[in-house]
Copies of this chain bind each other. A is one copy, B any other.
Amino acid sequence: MNQIEWDDHIAVTDRGDGEFAAELHDGWVVGAGVNGGYLLATIGNALSRVAPGKPDPISVSAYYLSASRPGPATVSTRVVRDGGSIATLAAELTQGGDARITALATYGDLDRVPDDIRTTAKPPVMAPLEECVPSSMAPPEVLANAKLLGRFDMRFDPSCIGWAVGKPSGDGVISAWFRLNGERDPDPIELLMVLDALPPVTFDLGMPGWAPTLELTAHVRAKPAPGWLRVTHRTRNMAGGMFEEDCEVWDSADRLVAQSRQLARQPRP
């Protein structure tokens, strides 16, 4: 059943004492590891059970230590402070004793935040869904190397897909429509994955290749409305062998529901 594929892949089993067992699915492999967004969502799913009445990620900062592999993993969690409307939490994802990710997070209840909105940011200017380029059109060798592309429907805005035919724009922007398999409607935990699902924005600078994340901080600002998401990646500061990648996720109601910034290593030629 496609409808529950995602929920199955991020499922965790409570082992007590803040420890959760996960099974990293090989459908999320990209290059030499497992997609960092999927890992973040798996950690985020465990953390949603740790502080009573605070099921939603508001801020998650993850430091990536080593590449994860498909198979069993443990998410160890700890409540740093639980008071008032938010809880500060810590988590570590390990595999066979090797630390893969260490993270800090703020959790709360997004149904209980004030409903004022004074956002000045504008939704990304993107071509209609029908005119965008589905990732399923990628060459077979790309699809084989990025199995995660089989997990969702991702359609790139034509204005920033030149890199796919050897003509990157050089602007440092990639935008796409996004929806999980089975038309599963988005939720706050899924957004943690969506923030790191697109190809590295360095593709648009003519630098293909894997760009390992050092650190990624996600802010989930609202529960997303049902339907397609629009995702934009942007970089403005490539220097010292590193670049920042800013991501925005907009929902079908034109609301900026999640933002992230990551610091990643520049791909090696």
Contacts and interface: CB of A to CB of B under 8 A. Distances in A.
A110 interface: yes
A219 B263 contact: yes
Nearest to A239: B117
A113 B240 contact: yes
A175 interface: no
A106 B265 CA distance: 13
Nearest to A236: B121
B214 A58 contact: yes
Main SS of the interface on chain A? strand
Q: How many copies does the complex hold?
A: 2
A40 B118 CA distance: 29
A128 interface: no
A217 interface: yes
B219 A114 contact: no
Contacts of A80: 63, 65, 99, 102
Interface in A247-264: 255-256, 259, 261, 263
Interface string A78-101: 001100001010100000000100
A63 B106 CA distance: 8
Interface in A194-243: 205, 214-215, 217, 219, 221-222, 235-242
12 contacts: A59-B215, A65-B81, A88-B102, A102-B104, A104-B215, A106-B214, A113-B241, A118-B238, A120-B236, A221-B237, A236-B256, A239-B256
